[in-house]
Amino acid sequence: MRWLLLITAIMLALLVAALWYFWPQILLQSMQWQRVLNQHMAALLEKLAEHRQQAGMALVGFSLIYGVLHALGPGHGKVVIGAFLATHPTRLKNSLQLTFAAALLQGGVAIFLVTLMLGILQLSSRQLHISSFWLEKASYLLVGLLGVALCYKALKRIKRLLQPGRFRRITPPAHLHDAHCGCGHQHVPDASQLAQAVTLKTRLLVVLSMGLRPCSGAIMMLLFAKVMNVYWWGVISALVMAAGTALTVSSLALLVQSSRTLAMTLSKKTRAPQPMLVACLSLLGGMLLVVAASVLWLSAQPMASNGIRPVF
């Protein structure tokens, strides 16, 4: 069993190394594909006024592929979910829920913003881009707040671990442990405790920090659709893009979750992971988010008009 885990770890490391080496080429190719998809989707929007059913199904398919490719580039959402899942015990189901909720929120924010700014308030597209820019800055601020919150929790845990323990005898001296321990307390957290290890407030902060920034690709499609008087097809396209984005980011979450589970399994084969080490890793994850938020806040630029900027 140990050899099987070791081989799996080596294969996973080789996969990560290959992705790291070929990532610039993958990113460049994905951007070229996005440009082609942009042209096809714009042409499909033009046809929707006359051939709604026929062009609409093609638009949905292209939007899904566009969302998958659009999320491949570097973005703060992958930093948030990667750092969070790597340093905090979370069930796989909850991890996937976080990624899908964040992606849908990002698409929903884009729809709400375009509908409000252009449809209700009748403002210019320049005002729309300015509003999108400040929502992006707000999402980076939430990333920083999430990092500070995680650091605070980790420091409290470290402080508690550094305090000298108090020992009290809770059983008679003649008490003997059987094969199932019988010591009166639980050694390993069960599934429900693992699910509750991350509070609801923390999960909401993760989702908001990832999803508050509106999807630039969705904004672009909504603008095209409004100009061509097929706005509802733009809304459908934006939601399908969000689903494609969720698939890509969920794949990253699955990779991080699997790597963490494998690392914990290998550590159990040697010795139990020290609580101090786990707390320090949580502190490191929070510090990483604070640094990333600071860099993103200082380097944020208004959205380009081509809509090719990474969505996550």
pLDDT of residue 173: 53
Q: How many helices (H) and strands (E) does the chain have?
A: 10, 0
CA distance 26 to 33: 11
pLDDT of residue 246: 93
Does this model's pTM top 0.85? Answer: no
Structural domain contains residue 95: yes
Structural domain contains residue 237: yes
Number of domains in the chain: 1
Structural domain contains residue 63: no
Structural domain contains residue 291: yes
Structural domain contains residue 183: no
CA distance 44 to 58: 8
Which residues of the chain are under the pLDDT cut of 70? 1-9, 12, 16, 23, 51-52, 74, 165-198, 263-264, 266-274, 301-312
Structural domain contains residue 12: no
The single-letter code of the amino acid at 198 is: V
Structural domain contains residue 17: no
CA distance 141 to 206: 12
Structural domain contains residue 310: no
CA distance 50 to 191: 54
CB 11 within 8 A of CB 262: no
Task: Give the residue numbers spanning the domain of 118.
Answer: 74-162+190-299
pLDDT of residue 307: 46
pLDDT of residue 306: 46
